[in-house]
Amino acid sequence: MHLQYCRIASTHVAGRAVWALAAASALSPGIALAQVPDVSTAEPPGFAPVQSPVVPTEPTDAIVKRRDNAPADSRQSGVWLEPRITVQHTVTNNARLDATHISDQVTEVNPGFRLVSDTARINGFVDYSLRTAHYARGTVSDQVWHNLNAKGTAEAIENRVFVDVAGVVALQPISAFGAPGVDSPANPNMAQTSSFRVSPYLKGSFGSNVDYEARYSVQDTRSDAENRASVTVQGWLLHLGSKPDGHTIIGWALDAMQEDAEFSTGRNIDTTTLRARMSYLASPQLLLVGIGGVESTNQLSPTHKSHGIVGFGADWRPSNKTRLFLERESRYFGEAHKVNFEYRTSRTIWSYTDRKGIFAGLGAQSSASMGSLFDLLDSFYARTEPNAIRRTQLVLAEIERRGLPADMQVFPDFLTSSSTLQRLQELSVALLGQRSTFTLAVLRSDTRLLDGTLQLGDDFDANTRIRQRGWRLMVGHRLTPNASINASLGEMHSVGSVPGLETRVRPLILGWNTLVARRTNVGIQLRRVLSDGSVTRYNESAIMGFITHRF
């Protein structure tokens, strides 16, 4: 939802107050820090204190063994709710991120909350914030946006009926060749986009080794961009199978799927798939899979056509620190694949994913998450802290302590009005020191149009293929237990199939933040952005001060 509001002059005064507090803290860190406890002590009532997430000095296996032998009370689950509010004020020399270079001052008030549930019946999280912006010089009218990331599973009937839910509401780039910055609310290339999914399902087993599942799902994706389509995807899944276990090394599975994608513009896409899998447990660490099947779809033409499916897969887990999963299929559009690689040491996290497939609406990146850096650290601490609430507190404390954003996304998905074939490759690396953290994210995507006969008003009216690549390096360093500095440098490059159509954006961000009270932190950020190419040429220099209080 994108709403227009009357200007509120008082928000400009609040912005100046943010600047005053941030500047005062920067000039007298000794006074502020002497009165502030360590961030790890700011735990919500009813839970044990969250310890500083310093890398363990003992082996992980020893920690896991000690955890498994701990009393049940120390691993008790529950619900954790943390409201928050952030007020920030930005002075920029290019509020619209274009060649006009209109300078302005922007005051934002962003209330929100984070909810994590880890109970017997409900598991998941909700992270929501309301973003309001006021421009002192009236570059645009006062505006309000919503930002939501939510995902969870509810157990309706014990061990039988479940419901998966997920929701994402965020600002997304309308075009791959416009300004990608979500930091500027006046950016005309941004649209409020929402995607919600609900999936009830029934699962159980026949006897001791045959599993079944019947699932229905519906996902609705919309945006307030006038020239982008909305899409609703409905699907059914029937699954029957048996996994290899300690008594047998052979497994099998049968999956019948039906999916219907209804676009507000263009035509609807129906796909029916029947797929069989045979698995072989070659060793306790290696599972091999063979895939065969058939599918019928009208994706490439108005009439349905049938195509065969042939593929293979493997899941290799040589240790509890390493996993490699791969799956490759030959389908109606060509080759599809999934590759996931994860590796952890005592001080590093390595993650690589490579996905190629069909996407309707938002692309492969647009899934509910509390941030890519959060997900990376969450998987790192999963073995040493199985409790979802405590692990969330642990990861958030670590991110806040080092002054890093929870998300290190290189570039977000742009909006399309039809199904696309997308290959997305992501490499993430994190080096965790006692006081310093280095994170690197490298991303490359290749998106192609499947039906060139449609003219739907998006980037694919002129392009049959859009390639994007980029990287982002972030460094965080703790100066004291409560103060830190950080820096971020990156590049985003988009190239179309039309000769000469390309843009390149290079952002540089420097920041400082500190705790001024038990649950209050302030910070200052300097931002410099350079953009060149045949479509969008601009540069921006900005300084931003903020204050965040967690209740």
CA dihedral of 344, 367, 415, 114, whole degrees rounded to 10? -110
Cβ distance 201 to 211 under 8 Å?
A: no
Cβ distance 517 to 498 under 8 Å?
A: no
In degrees, to the nearest 5, what angle opens at C-alpha 540 toward C-alphas 538 and 546?
Answer: 150
Of 144, 104, 101, 152, nearest to 126 by C-alpha is 152
Query: Would you state the pLDDT for residue 529?
Result: 92
Of 11, 41, 122, 35, nearest to 77 by C-alpha is 122
Cβ distance 515 to 482 under 8 Å?
A: yes
Query: Would you state the pLDDT for residue 525?
Result: 93
Cβ distance 154 to 118 under 8 Å?
A: no
Task: Please give the backbone phi and psi of residue 353, each rounded to the nearest 5 degrees, phi first.
Answer: -130, 145
Of 377, 478, 476, 393, nearest to 429 by C-alpha is 377
Give pLDDT < 70 ranges for the chain. 1-77, 181-183, 246, 361-371, 402-403, 406-410, 452-456
Query: Would you state the pLDDT for residue 493?
Result: 92
What's at 197, amino acid-wise?
A: R
Of 238, 196, 198, 232, nearest to 215 by C-alpha is 238
- What domains, with CATH codes, occur in the chain? 78-550 (2.40.170)
H helix or E strand, kind and range, residue 430:
strand 420-432
Of 149, 92, 127, nearest to 540 by C-alpha is 92
Q: Largest alpha-carbon pair distance within the chain?
A: 73
Cβ distance 496 to 457 under 8 Å?
A: no
pTM of the model: 0.79
Helix pair 388-401, 372-380: axis angle to 10 deg: 120
Query: Would you state the pLDDT for residue 100?
Result: 82
Query: Would you state the pLDDT for residue 300?
Result: 85
Cβ distance 187 to 198 under 8 Å?
A: no
